[in-house]
């Protein structure tokens, strides 16, 4: 029994002289929700198309459930797919759309009817059987596309930015539903997106891609807390990303200098990293603790002073931009109930736990 639904071994894809996917190795475990995340042009959609069989790797091998897929056309791969524009068949009713996969597999009519009913119930579209796609809202079309993909019960479902055409409220509701469905059906989901919130919200595992290579693979919390490069740190979540100009060791403590004007922070070097490799440091805004008085912050080594230059009100939180004395701007996330009277141009005090300063070698 192979525990990986998909294995990609040194897969490369070139279009002419254009290297789109560069020698990636990827294993997707059975039953996991895996997101392939990256900016446009990073090769994520090409990777998905290669898994689906719409594109052939220029070199390397893709195995699905342990079997090499070389020369296997998409219709023989036994996988489901949800397209960004839904790709519903406009001339078929919702029931016909959802039953299409079963019809192609020549299942008996009764079985098909039951499967269609089940799939529609699962996406809360029962009663819509005889409507046509044009008569449905964007969200309902999206659910239909999902129902159509899961009705033949594939073990593997590919999703190509399926929520990107929906408005924010619906998108957030659908995230929860998608995750529920994936867990109920115990299907492997491979979800391509450029939206890091989506990936963080739903995934068991995130694969971050950059320029055709995998920048980092890991659980959402792992990637958020320990990004391996400045690209990942910047792409996932918000961060204060600062280039390191100097790093030195004084007895057991390490200090980094940021910029040229003597901003120094005390840091911890994580296991397996040499302090001298550090090139950037990443500080999450929620790790930058802000206070209006000197006493408001804990007596930690990294204490800074600055002026509040901008406040972005996010409702529950304030996104604060603090200009330090040397001109560096740091972002800090402050719960709005904690410091309700915050105002621009106010002098503030910051503290940063040395633990929260992540050192990045590239």
Partner 1 sequence: MSSIETLSALRQPTHLPVRLSRYFPLAPPLIVLMIAFAIPMGMMIGLSFHDADTGILTLDNYVRFFGDDLMLAGLWRTALMSGLVALCVTVMAYPVAYYLARSTSRWRVVVFALAITPELAGVVLRTYGWLVILEDHGAINNLLTWSGLISEPLPLSKNLIGVVIGLTHVVLPFGILSLLTSIQGIDPNLERAAQILGSSRVSIIRHIILPLSVPGIVSSLLIAFTMAASAYATPALLGGAGFKVIATMVYEQVLFYIDWPFAAVMAVILLVMMLTIAFIGARVEARLHRKLHI
* Interface residues toward partner 1, by CB under 8 A: 52-54, 73-75, 77, 79-81, 83, 85, 87-91, 100-101, 104-105, 132-135, 148, 152
List residues bridging with 98 in a β-sheet.
Answer: none
Shortest Cβ 152–partner 1 spacing (Å): 7
Pick between residue 159 and residue 247 the one whose CB is nearest to partner 1: 159
Q: What is the DSSP string of 47-109?
A: HHHHHHTSS--SEEEEEETTEE-TT--GGGS--EEE-TT----TTS-HHHHHHHHHHHTT--H
Shortest Cβ 221–partner 1 spacing (Å): 33
Pick between residue 159 and residue 232 the one whose CB is nearest to partner 1: 159
Q: What does each C-alpha distance from 139 to 148, 171, 185, 225, 362 come to in angstroms?
A: 14, 9, 21, 33, 41
Rounded distance, CA 149 to CA 163, Å? 15
For residue 24, the surrounding DSSP H or E stretch is strand 18-29
Pick between residue 80 and residue 237 the one whose CB is nearest to partner 1: 80
Name the packing angle between helices 168-185 and 138-150 (round to 10°): 20
Rounded distance, CA 174 to CA 192, Å? 15
Shortest Cβ 91–partner 1 spacing (Å): 4
Pick between residue 69 and residue 210 the one whose CB is nearest to partner 1: 69
Pick between residue 15 and residue 361 the one whose CB is nearest to partner 1: 15
Shortest Cβ 17–partner 1 spacing (Å): 16
The DSSP letter of residue 346 is: -
Shortest Cβ 133–partner 1 spacing (Å): 7
Shortest Cβ 5–partner 1 spacing (Å): 16
Rounded distance, CA 57 to CA 63, Å? 12
Q: What does each C-alpha distance from 121 to 105, 126, 129, 187 come to in angstroms?
A: 22, 5, 11, 17
For residue 150, the surrounding DSSP H or E stretch is helix 138-150
- Going by their DSSP bridges, the two strands 18-29 and 33-37 should be labelled as unpaired
Longest Cα separation, the chain:
77
Shortest Cβ 153–partner 1 spacing (Å): 12
Rounded distance, CA 250 to CA 85, Å? 57
> 275, 283, 280: which is closest to 353 by C-alpha?
283
Shortest Cβ 100–partner 1 spacing (Å): 5
């Amino acid at each position: 029994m192979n525990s990986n639904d998909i294995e990609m071994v040194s897969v490369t894809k070139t279009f002419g002289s254009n290297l789109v996917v560069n020698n990636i190795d990827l294993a997707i475990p059975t039953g996991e929700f895996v997101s392939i995340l990256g900016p446009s042009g990073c090769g994520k959609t090409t990777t998905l198309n290669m898994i689906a069989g719409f594109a052939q790797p220029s070199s390397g091998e893709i195995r699905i459930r342990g079997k090499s897929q070389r020369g296997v056309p998409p219709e023989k791969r036994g996988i489901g797919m949800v397209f960004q524009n839904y790709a519903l068949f406009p001339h078929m009713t919702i029931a016909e759309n959802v039953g299409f996969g079963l019809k192609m597999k020549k299942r008996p009519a009764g079985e098909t009817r039951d499967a269609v009913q089940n799939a529609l119930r699962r996406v809360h579209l029962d009663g819509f059987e005889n409507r046509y796609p044009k008569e449905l809202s964007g969200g309902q079309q999206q659910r239909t596309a999902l129902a159509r993909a899961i009705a033949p019960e594939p073990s593997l479902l590919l999703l190509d930015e399926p929520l990107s055409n929906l408005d924010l409220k619906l998108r957030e509701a659908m995230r929860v539903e998608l995750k529920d469905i994936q867990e109920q059906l115990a299907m492997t989901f491979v979800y391509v997106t450029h939206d890091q919130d989506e990936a963080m919200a739903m995934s068991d595992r995130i694969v971050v891609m950059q320029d055709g290579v995998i920048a980092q693979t890991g659980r959402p919390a792992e990637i958020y807390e320990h990004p391996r490069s400045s690209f990942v740190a910047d792409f996932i979540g918000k961060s204060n990303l600062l280039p390191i100009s100097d790093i030195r060791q004084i007895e057991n403590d390490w200090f980094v200098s940021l910029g040229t004007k003597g901003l120094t922070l005390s840091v911890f070097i994580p296991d397996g990293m040499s302090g001298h490799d550090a090139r950037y440091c990443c500080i999450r805004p929620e790790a930058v603790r802000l206070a209006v008085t000197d006493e408001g912050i804990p007596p930690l080594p990294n204490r800074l002073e600055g002026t509040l230059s901008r406040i972005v009100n996010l409702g529950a939180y304030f996104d604060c931009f603090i200009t330090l004395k040397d001109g560096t701007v740091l972002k800090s996330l402050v719960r709005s109930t904690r410091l309700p009277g915050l105002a621009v141009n106010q002098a503030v005090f910051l503290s940063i736990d040395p633990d929260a300063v992540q050192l990045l070698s590239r």
